[in-house]
Amino acid sequence: MNNIAVFATGRGSNFEQLAQAEKDGRLKAHIALLIAGKPDIGAIEIAKQFGISYSVIDSKQFSNAHNCTQAFISTLEQNKIDIIALAGWLRLLDSALIKRYKNRIVNIHPALLPFFGGKGMYGIHVHRAVKKSGMLVSGATVHLVNEHYDEGKIIKQQAVALEQNDTAEEIAAKVLKVEHRLYSEAINYLVENPVL
C-alpha cells in the first residue's frame, strides 16, 4: 500500500475528502501524514478528527531553504511516504524535494490547466480570471508537480458548466465540488499507473 502525505496550508476540504475516501474504502492508498505549512489551520483539525498524524513545517521557522527542505525530506522518510498530494499548498517546492519524489507529487488546481495557472493564480484569483475571460466552462485539474507553478503532466481533469451570471464565488463552489470527487480518482490512477 502506498503511503501518502497531504501538504496543506488552509481549510483542508480536499484533505478531508481524501481522508473520507480512504475511510470509505475508495482510496487505493493510505494517508499516513498531514504536513501543515502553518499552525492553527483547518486541515490540522481534520487530521485530528480522522486520527491522522500531522507535522507543522513552516518555512518561516528555518534560516534557509536548504534546512527547510531537509526537514521535509526527513519527515517524509521517517513516515515512509511514497506519494505527496498538495491540497491548498501555495509555496513552490524546492527542486531537491521534487527530485527525491520525481513523478510522485501531485497537485490539485481549481481550473482547466494549462489555462488560468501559474504564479499568483490561486484561490479566488483563479475564479475571477475565469469570470473575466467570459468562458462558460471551468473545472479542476490534478497534475504532477515540477519546478514550475502548475506545469507538470496532467493526470486527470474534469470540466464544469458555468452560467453567464455566476459570480467568482459561485464558480469556486462549483469547481470545489468537482475537486472533491476528482482528487481521490486521480490518486488512484497514479497508484495504478506509477510510470507516467
The helix/strand/coil state of 48 is helix
| Radius of gyration, alpha carbons of the chain | 16
Between CA 144 and CA 127, with CA 36 as vertex, the angle to 5 degrees is 55
DSSP category for residue 114: T
- If the CB atoms of residues 29 and 37 are measured against ligand GRF, the closer one turns out to be 37
If one asks whether residue 117 binds ligand GRF (CB under 6 A), the answer comes out as: no
The answer to whether the beta carbons of residues 105 and 38 sit under 8 Å apart is no
* Cell 519527515 found at: 75
Stretch that binds ligand GRF, among 12-20, 58-66, 70-78, 158-166 (CB under 6 A): 12-20
The 164-183 site mask, x for binding ligand GRF (CB under 6 A), equals: ------------x--x----
Instruction: Answer yes or no: 109 catalytic.
Output: yes
- If the CB atoms of residues 70 and 122 are measured against ligand GRF, the closer one turns out to be 122
- If the CB atoms of residues 76 and 108 are measured against ligand GRF, the closer one turns out to be 108
Shortest distance in whole angstroms from residue 195 CB to ligand GRF: 25
Shortest distance in whole angstroms from residue 157 CB to ligand GRF: 12
| Segment 43 to 102, residues that bind ligand GRF, using CB under 6 A | 87-88
Q: What are phi and psi of 188, to 5 degrees?
A: -60, -40
Among candidates 150, 58, 151, which has minimal Cα distance to 110? 150
The answer to whether the beta carbons of residues 116 and 37 sit under 8 Å apart is no
If one asks whether residue 12 binds ligand GRF (CB under 6 A), the answer comes out as: yes
Catalytic residues: 109
